[in-house]
Amino acid sequence: MPANYHTHTPLCRHAEGEPAAYVDAAIAAGWSEYGVSDHAPHRPEPYDDWRMLEADLPAYFEWIEHARAHASGRIPIRAGLECDWLEACGDWVAELASRYSWDYLIGSVHYLGDWDFDNPKWVGSVWAHSDVEDVWTRYWATYARMAESGLFDILGHPDLIKKFGYRPDGDLSRFYEPAIDAIAASGCTIELNTAGWHKPCEEAYPSPEFLELACSAGIPIVISTDAHRPSEVGRDKDRATELLKSVGYQQTQLFEGRKRKAEALQASP
Ligand code: ZN
Ligand code: FE
Ligand code: FE
Ligand code: ZN
């Protein structure tokens, strides 16, 4: 049974629900472990309107403790953050890493320069006027640099750039292959993030083609639902498990104290 490590809390200002409801949903779904990974603060503040502030960190630690108290041994509760990969973020991520006994840090690319390209508010404006080939080229170069940084345990939603369905023409492996090389060299784990199934792209992140390349390259993987409400914690578990098996994965990963170990990807009942 896989764990589900990419989930949010109301502290990021666009998620809802109490710790108990998230934990109950994780137990009901049969995830082996539940991890919290809300959008990390970033300086200078306020960086944007969709993350916690540095001053929210104590409340975040409390939220995790509430989840642990509610779980009371029924499911392990892991502590993480979804950090943004931004130029020159290394010192800040290292400082965040020292603030708590994290089990893992997720690195995500949501920004190209100062453009948060996955924000729906840009669909009719910036996206409509962008050269998709150029945007994808910049995105994948940024993603490879994030892998090479060595700052993160898990790399989030690998092809998030397709969220609104903007994809270049032709075979996309020309984008995937250099990124796969960088990720494999880094030793990082990637996630199969099922939120994409519920977005305009109608495909989990990353694509099946990317997953096949990643599996062949020996890149470890976790499944995550990127839940922003309790009802999203359990969805897609079996579908994601089947997808991973279909491309050749036989294991997922568990994280504790920023160390990982493999667990078998079992058949769904
Ligand atoms: Zn979010
Ligand atoms: Fe994200
Ligand atoms: Fe997220
Ligand atoms: Zn995310």
60 occurs within a structural domain:
yes
pLDDT score of 267 = 58
pLDDT above 70 for 265: yes
CA 40 to ligand 3 center in whole angstroms: 10
What is the number of the ligand closest to the CA of 16? Answer: 1
pLDDT at 255 over 80: yes
- Whether the CB-CB separation of 155 and 191 falls below 8 Å is answered with yes
Residue 231 alpha carbon to ligand 3 centre in Å: 15
Non-local (6+) Cβ contacts of 261 within 8 A are 253, 254
Instruction: Report the pLDDT averaged over residues 118-146.
Output: 97
Q: Which ligand is nearest to the CA of 227?
A: 3
Q: In whole angstroms, give the CA distance from residue 257 to residue 260.
A: 8
Both structure tokens of 8: 């949010």
Does residue 132 form part of some domain? Answer: yes
The CATH number of the domain holding residue 203 is 3.20.20.140
- Does a structural domain hold residue 4? no
pLDDT at 231 over 60: yes
In this model, does residue 80 exceed pLDDT 90? yes
- State the pLDDT at residue 164: 98
Question: Any idea which residue has 């800040």 for tokens?
Answer: 92
171/43 Cα distance (integer angstroms): 38
Beta carbons of 200 and 163 less than 8 angstroms apart: yes
CA of 229 to the centre of ligand 2 (A): 14
Can you give the residue range of the structural domain that contains 74?
Answer: 10-264
Instruction: Please give the pLDDT value at position 266.
Output: 79
Ligand 3 centroid to Cα of residue 7, in Å, is 6
3 occurs within a structural domain:
no
| Mean pLDDT score of the chain | 97
The answer to whether residue 2 sits within a structural domain is no
The count of structural domains within the chain is 1
Which residues keep their CB under 5 angstroms from ion ligand 3? 82, 226
* pLDDT > 70? residue 268: no
Average the pLDDT over 193-220 and give the result: 98
248, part of any domain: yes
CA distances to 11, 77, 82, 168 from 44, in Å: 18, 30, 17, 34
63 located within any domain: yes
Please report whether residue 37 resides in a domain: yes
User: Please, are residues 196 and 163 in contact by the beta-carbon 8 Å criterion?
Assistant: yes
Decide if pLDDT at 165 tops 80.
yes
Model pLDDT for residues 4-58, shown as the tens digit of each residue: 999 999 999 999 999 999 999 999 999 999 999 999 999 999 999 999 999 999 9
Closest CA to 8 of 54, 45, 40, 53: 40
Chain centroid to CA 224: 7
For residue 188, what are its two tokens?
């990082």
Ligand 4: distance of its center to the CA of 203 in Å? 15
Indicate the pLDDT class of residue 1, thresholds 50, 70 and 90: confident
Region 56-61: what's the mean pLDDT? 98
Centroid of ligand 4 to alpha carbon of 51 (angstroms) = 11
Over the stretch 179-194, which tens digit does the pLDDT of each residue have?
999 999 999 999 999 9
